[in-house]
Amino acid sequence: MNFLAKIFGKTEKTRSALGVDIGSSSLKVVQLSRKNGAIVLETYGELSLGPYGKVEIGQATNLPADTIATTLIDLLHEANVTTNDCGVSIPASRSLLTFTELPRRDNPEEQKTVIELEARKYIPVPISEVHLDWFVLPDVPSSSESETKTPLKNINVLLVAVHNDEIQLLDTVVKKANLAATFFEIEIFSTIRSVVDETVKPIMIIDIGSASTKVYIVERGVVATSHAIPHGGQDVTRAISASSGIDIAHAEQSKKEEGITGAEQGEHRIATETTFSNIFAEAKRVMLQFEHEKKRSVTAIVLTGGGGVTKGLGEYAQNFFAVETRVADPFAKTQAPEFIRPVLKEIGPEFSVAVGIALRKLEEFN
C-alpha cells in the first residue's frame, strides 16, 4: 500500500507523521510527510473493530486496550505504515467540553486560579481524576455591538476535561502497538484542522460516527458550541435491518450501496430517512439555539465521519437545514496521485480525524 510514497519518491530524509483515530467502530490511520512545501499522503488505512469485539462491521464496540492494540498492530501492518511518530485522538464521548464566562484577570496566575475554581463546578468527578485544559476564546462582539478595542470585562473560556482512565487506556494502546505518541487530542480539534477553511463565519460540523453524532459550531477557527447525539450510523443499519427483516451484516451492506435516496424498497428508504432526520432535527436545535444566543447565522454545514459517506446525504442535509452543505474532503489538503483522488474524495469523511492528527504531528517537525 505504500505505493503512494513510491510514486512521490520519498527520500530517506523525509520524516513521516502518523495520525491514529481510535473510533468506536473502526481504527483509522493516515501517514503524511512534507515534500517541497507540499503535504504528501503516504498511506492510509482503516480496520473495523467489530470482528475483534464479536459484533458486526459498522457497529460500535467498547474494547479493552489489549484488543485495540492488537487491531492497531494489524492495521499498521496492512497499511504499510513506516513510522511510529504519531498523535492519537481522544473520542469526544470521553471528554467534557464546557463553555463559561469568567472575570478577566490581568495576572496569568490569578486567571489560572479563577479558571480552575470554576472548573470544579462543571466537572462531575474530583479534579485530581481528570486532565484539565482550557482555551480563552477570542472576543466576538454580537452583531448589535461594534468591535471594541478595550478588552471586555469578562472572558469566555472553553474548559476541556479528559478522565485519567482514558489517557491511561490510550497510553497502553500506544505502548503495546510500539508507537511513540507525543500528544492525545480530542477528535473535534483534529477534525477542525482537516476540514475547516472558513476562518471567520460560523460553520457547523456534523460528525456522524457509529454510535453517536458529534455536532459542533466553529467560529473564527475555534469551537463555539458542542453537542453529542446518541445516535449514528449503527442506528441507520439497525433501522434498515428491523424494517426490511434482514440481518445486520446485510443491512450494513445495503446502506452502503443504496445510501439515503437510491433505495428502491420503501422500507429501506423510510428507515434511513427517519434515522437521519431524527439526528438532523437535534442538530438543527443546536444550530437554532446558537443563532438565537449569538445573533449570528451558521453559514455552512460540513458532514463528516463514516455516516458522512452515505450516498445522497449531502443533498438531503442541504434541503433539511436550508444551509449550504458540503461533505468533508480532508485529503484535499494532501498531495496524492490523480487516479486515487475519486476514492479519497469518497471515503474522506471517515478520515477527517486521522488527517487532522497527522497534520498536527507534521507541524511538530518544523
User: Where along the sequence are the contacts to Mg ion (CB under 5 A)?
Assistant: 23, 209
Amino acid at 330: P
Residue 232 interacting entry, from Mg ion, ligand ATP, none, C-beta within 5 to 8 Å by type: ligand ATP
Alpha-carbon gap, residue 345 to 166, rounded angstroms: 32
**Contacting range for ligand ATP; rule: CB under 6 A; set: 153-161, 198-206, 207-215, 216-224:** 207-215
Judged by CB under 6 A, does residue 202 bind ligand ATP? no
Alpha-carbon gap, residue 129 to 165, rounded angstroms: 8
Taking each helix axis as running N to C, give the angle between helix 313-321 and helix 266-294, from 0 to 180 degrees, rounded to the nearest 10: 40
Q: State in angstroms the smallest separation of the CB of 187 from Mg ion.
A: 6
8 Å CB contact between 229 and 215: yes
**Contacting range for ligand ATP; rule: CB under 6 A; set: 3-11, 166-174, 302-310, 318-326:** 302-310
**Contacting range for ligand ATP; rule: CB under 6 A; set: 68-76, 141-149, 228-236, 332-340:** 228-236
Size of the site for ligand ATP (CB under 6 A): 23
Judged by CB under 6 A, does residue 272 bind ligand ATP? no
8 Å CB contact between 15 and 345: no
Site for ligand ATP in 237-256 (CB under 6 A): 237, 252, 255-256
Residues 28-67, mask of contacts with ligand ATP (x by CB under 6 A): ------------------------------x---------
Alpha-carbon gap, residue 238 to 244, rounded angstroms: 10
Alpha-carbon gap, residue 271 to 4, rounded angstroms: 39
8 Å CB contact between 354 and 72: no
Residue closer to ligand ATP by CB (options 63, 309) is 309
Alpha-carbon gap, residue 345 to 12, rounded angstroms: 29
* Tally of CB atoms within 10 A around 145: 11
- Residues found near ligand ATP in the complex (CB under 6 A): 23-26, 58, 91, 209-212, 232-234, 237, 252, 255-256, 305-307, 309-310, 350
